[in-house]
Structure 1
Amino acid sequence: MQNITSPAELSLTFGVITDLNYLYGTCYTDTGRMENSSDFHPSEMTLTFGDVSEHRILYCTITLLGYIMTVTASTIVVVTIVLHKPLQEPMYVFIAILCVNGLYGSMIFYPSLLINLLYQLHTISYTACLTQVYCLYTYGSFEMTTLTAMAFDRYVCICNPLRYNVIMSLSMVARLISGSWLFSIIIIGINVTLTSRLPLCDSVILKIYCDNWSVVRLSCIDTTVNNIFGLFVAAVYLFFLLFLILSSYISILRVCYKSSAEVISKALQACMPQFITTITFVTDVLFEFFIYRWTPTNLPYEVRMFMSIQPLVTPPLLNPLLYGLKMTEIRLRIFQLLRLKKISSHKGPQNYALLQEEEEEPGASEEEDDEDDGEKEDGEKEKEDSEEQDGEKKKNKVKTDHSSEKSKLLKSDITE
């Protein structure tokens, strides 16, 4: 083996070794120690679009239509609830918050996808990738916490109706949402910070957008801390909150089981949209969680891509359509807002505890109508009676005239 004696050759050899070790997440210091490098990461990440680019015009059109429909539907529901004071109750406020979160998630996902498809850009900067990870994960956590708060609202409303107005005030709604969202912002911030410290040996993301696990799996060093904290976040948002939601609905079903069929149907009508939304969102997220952690490449790319976009596409579009069309009060107010139908009276439950009182209102109005009809009939009868009396008076008058004439004739006959 040839000895290296030249200072230039020594410098060149040391530089090559340093570059190789830096590439694999290690570097040499001036003292010759080998340390982990936590600062190395590629400047750009490559997104996996597969054969999507071949039909980019079609996919661009579908994406644009989906974005327009989502923004339009969510905005209409939010504006309707804000403008109409009777809708500013906890149940409807939660629906508005859910739609606002859907707008937030849509603005994170759709514009970047449209740009990538339109200009055939399959790369994203590392900073933008981590920003997208943070925004998408806060969107998902906001969705779960809001659905949990809605389940709690329905539980109190149906299982403890007498105290509903005391427990579920608008200030309580504000505390629930602000507290849960602040917790989500902090937890997701820690998660993304742990990801940002990892040196990456590759830059290929397996999706058409960035998510946390797709970045972590590219790390050159041990990711035990990231895995443990990621499992903690999943346990809180996917399993613990899901347990609270299912517990609320099970309690509601137990109470309704002891009630009449009418009460059961009304409870199901109030809870079914929330239950469908929750199951749809959790199913999509659980698929993402398990598939991409253990077998990310075993499924066909088309199936993986389709399932990966479901949590970002379906709930933001489904929520305003489901609540806007299913709930009568919101639907009628939307028609009023769009000037398609005029509403003459406020009708529809604000919460389950007041269903009976609000249902009595139409009956009261019917009773008032009946009273008016009765008054009219009485007036008509009085008219008829007065006419009959006038007729009788006229007849009596005629009779008296005839009798007076007869008496005059008799008198004249007698005198003759």
Structure 2
Amino acid sequence: MMNSSYVSYFTLAAYFDTGVFKYLYFLLILSLYVFKVCANVLLVVVICVNRSLHEPMYLFLVSLFVNELYGSTGLFPFLLVQILSDIHTVSALFCFLQIFCVYTYAGVEFINLAAMSYDRYLSICYPLQYHTRMTSNKVVVLITVTWSLPFFAVFVTTALSASLQLCGNIINRVYCDNYYIIKLACYDTTINNVYEFVATFFIVCVPVCVILYTYMRILKVCFSGSKQTRQKAVSTCTPHLASLINFFFGCLFQILQSRFDMSSVPMILQILLSLYFLTCQPIFNPIMYGLNMSKIRVMCQSLITRSVLGGCCNFSHR
């Protein structure tokens, strides 16, 4: 029997020998990470430097893109090191830190998407009262709750898991997962399970209910409203809905893999499914919003054009 305070490392058992292909995987993962960072940073900069985009919808997008950067950084550098390593171990301290990062990323994503759906609901259902209902103070409060609630809830979750007495240190994942830490516990984990149920209710279930309610109201207005109202709903809600569906699918893959026997599924597919919500969402969101929202698309093109022309001018003056 081992107490987690005495476990110096965890072994990640989901990795397998890829031979010389590990360098190819390393380059692919590195390319994905660089693309995610560049795409999300570009959109954050575009929104921040253009005062015409300082509206609630775009401020929520900044929060979303920052969270994508946060989640990606909590996983990808670690994956790059593990791909090149022959011994797939991680210190206990870093393991719990990674659990904190991954779970807070997921929590912030859920609440941020709910805040965005609420914003779209006010914009479409109450267009004349939108600016009085969605004030700058309300935006600040919503973004503050979006970040503070998951950070507090996941901090308690991580602290409870770190205090467990463990009977092993092997995690069948390519990254640290709190669910698998709890499975290693020697004794009763009722407190952990009850707390996780309550935290999941506030971080996942409540946002999902908000999303469902707001979109039911939006659909009702679209069916009874004018053609202009329907066009506005489609143009502003399409990227948000696509982001929601993509993230929900990723979370569904995560739940299925954690709760059910996946031994019949090839290992490489198990790894891809477990990484889906951490890898695809940070790529999907900047592409979806960058291409579908005309204001962002025009500003990005303008910023890139100025950068290229400025670089050419500087080069010609040399």
Normalised TM-score (structure 1): 0.70
Distance 1:238 1:61 in 2: 34
Gap runs ≥5 in structure 1: 1-22, 26-37, 342-416
Task: Output aligned runs, 1:391-410, within 5 Å.
Answer: none
Distance 1:89 1:40 in 2: 47
Q: Which residue of 1 aligns with 2:208?
A: 242
Gap runs ≥5 in structure 2: 308-318
Query: Which residue identity does 2:60 align to in structure 1?
Result: F
Find out whether 1:317 has 2:283 as its counterpart: yes
Query: Which residue identity does 1:165 align to in structure 2?
Result: H
Query: Structure 1 residues 52, 153: closer, same or farther in 2, change over 3 A?
Result: farther
Deviations 1:26-72 (A, max 9, x none): xxxxxxxxxxxx55542111112433532211110110010011001
Provide the secondary structure at the position in 1 that maps to 2:186: coil
Q: Which residue of 2 aligns with 1:379?
A: none
Q: Which residue of 1 aligns with 2:7?
A: 42
Query: Structure 1 residues 77, 252: closer, same or farther in 2, change over 3 A?
Result: same
Structure 1 residue runs of 4 or more that deviate by more than 4 Å after TM superposition? 38-41
Task: Output aligned runs, 1:3-402, within 5 Å.
Answer: 23=1, 38=3, 41-51=6-16, 53-54=18-19, 55-295=21-261, 297=263, 299-339=265-305
Query: Structure 1 residues 295, 197: closer, same or farther in 2, change over 3 A?
Result: same
Deviations 1:198-240 (A, max 9, x none): 1111111111000110111111111122122222223333322
- Kept after mapping to 2: 8 A contact 1:115/1:121: no
Provide the secondary structure at the position in 2 that maps to 1:62: helix
- Kept after mapping to 2: 8 A contact 1:52/1:59: no
The number of aligned residues is 307
CA apart distance, 1:265: 2.4
CA apart distance, 1:188: 0.7
RMSD in angstroms over aligned alpha carbons? 1.9
Query: Structure 1 residues 241, 58: closer, same or farther in 2, change over 3 A?
Result: same
Distance 2:208 2:6 in 1: 36
CA apart distance, 1:280: 1.2
Distance 2:55 2:153 in 1: 30
CA apart distance, 1:115: 1.0
Whose radius of gyration is greater, 1 or 2? Answer: 1
CA apart distance, 1:296: 5.1
CA apart distance, 1:241: 1.2
Query: Which residue identity does 2:126 align to in structure 1?
Result: N
- Kept after mapping to 1: 8 A contact 2:150/2:203: no
CA apart distance, 1:94: 0.9
Provide the secondary structure at the position in 1 that maps to 2:165: coil
Q: How many percent identity over aligned positions?
A: 33
- Kept after mapping to 1: 8 A contact 2:67/2:108: yes
Q: Which one has more relative contact order, counting CA pairs under 8 Å at least 6 apart?
A: 2
Deviations 1:226-265 (A, max 9, x none): 1222222233333221121121111101001112333212
CA apart distance, 1:121: 3.8
Deviations 1:345-386 (A, max 9, x none): xxxxxxxxxxxxxxxxxxxxxxxxxxxxxxxxxxxxxxxxxx
Distance 2:145 2:200 in 1: 19
Which deviates the most, 284-293 or 67-76? 284-293
- Kept after mapping to 1: 8 A contact 2:111/2:204: no
Query: Which residue identity does 2:219 align to in structure 1?
Result: L
Distance 2:97 2:48 in 1: 30
Query: Which residue identity does 1:58 align to in structure 2?
Result: L
- Kept after mapping to 1: 8 A contact 2:13/2:170: yes
Query: Structure 1 residues 62, 76: closer, same or farther in 2, change over 3 A?
Result: same
Q: Which residue of 2 aligns with 1:348?
A: none
Query: Which residue identity does 2:217 align to in structure 1?
Result: S
Query: Which residue identity does 1:275 align to in structure 2?
Result: L
- Kept after mapping to 2: 8 A contact 1:142/1:181: yes
- Kept after mapping to 2: 8 A contact 1:41/1:199: no
Query: Which residue identity does 1:135 align to in structure 2?
Result: C
